[in-house]
Chain A
Amino acid sequence: MSKSQLTNNIRRLRFDHNEMTQQKLADLAGVTRQTIIAVEQGKYTPSLTLAFKISAAFNRKIEDVFTFQPDK
């Protein structure tokens, strides 16, 4: 199975935001820590709603957090 086409900067953004913990981000986004880990590692493609919630937690636009890489 191919890797997710959606890459993200969540790890970097967490550290830019005062080393925000995965649990803190999970609480802000309203999901479990496991889901944040899976999204961060690119193992799970979040729904649009969750992607917006994560972006909002960092006060960033969605395209600053997630990047779509189309197939070549």
Chain B
Amino acid sequence: MNRSQKAAWFIVINFTIAIIISITMYAILLPKTGFSKASSAISFMGLCGLSGFVPIFFKKDPGNIQSDERDIMITRKSAIAGFASAYLFVGLACMLPFTIMGNNATVSVRWLPMIFTGAGILNFYIHSITLLILYGRGGKR
């Protein structure tokens, strides 16, 4: 397992834990405090920020060659998958309220940073999962 795979595993596990804690806390807080205060449970997603320490946690691989054509190809495919999913997420997040609530409805500006944060998290998540899948499959062309 190379450094990229270790980092991807870390991100997937870290994000999954953050999502589970956020949803659990939201489910606990919702009946007690109501929608407005229960939304603060989403702040547990801040745990995703631990992924910023990945370069410190995982040192460079032994050997002279750190990456080659296969690593570059896998990274590129993973990045495309990540960005495509984030793009789709933002598109859906913008279109769905319009589709469901109609032309004259309004969406709170509080949702905008949440949409972009969600897109960023989804990007990293899908990127890491795709990377692990492609390495697992041998990185076929």
Nearest A residue to B1, CB-CB: A34
Are B63's CB and A38's CB within 8 A?
A: no
Q: A33 — which chain B residues lie within 8 A by C-beta?
A: 63
Are B65's CB and A32's CB within 8 A?
A: yes
Determine the main DSSP class of B at the interface with A.
loop
Q: B interface, how many residues as a size bin? A: 10 to 19
Are B2's CB and A34's CB within 8 A?
A: yes
Q: How many residues of A contact B (CB 8 A)?
A: 20
Q: Does B67 contact A (CB under 8 A)?
A: yes
Q: Does A56 contact B (CB under 8 A)?
A: no
Given A38-B138, A43-B137, A43-B140, also A26-B69 (CB < 8 A): no
B residues neighboring A (CB under 8 Å): 2, 61, 63-71, 135, 137-141
A residues neighboring B (CB under 8 Å): 1, 4, 23, 26-27, 30-35, 38, 41, 43-47, 49-50
Q: Can you list 10 contacts pairing A with B, beta carbon distance less than 8 Å?
A: A27-B64, A30-B65, A32-B2, A32-B65, A38-B138, A41-B138, A44-B138, A47-B69, A50-B68, A50-B69
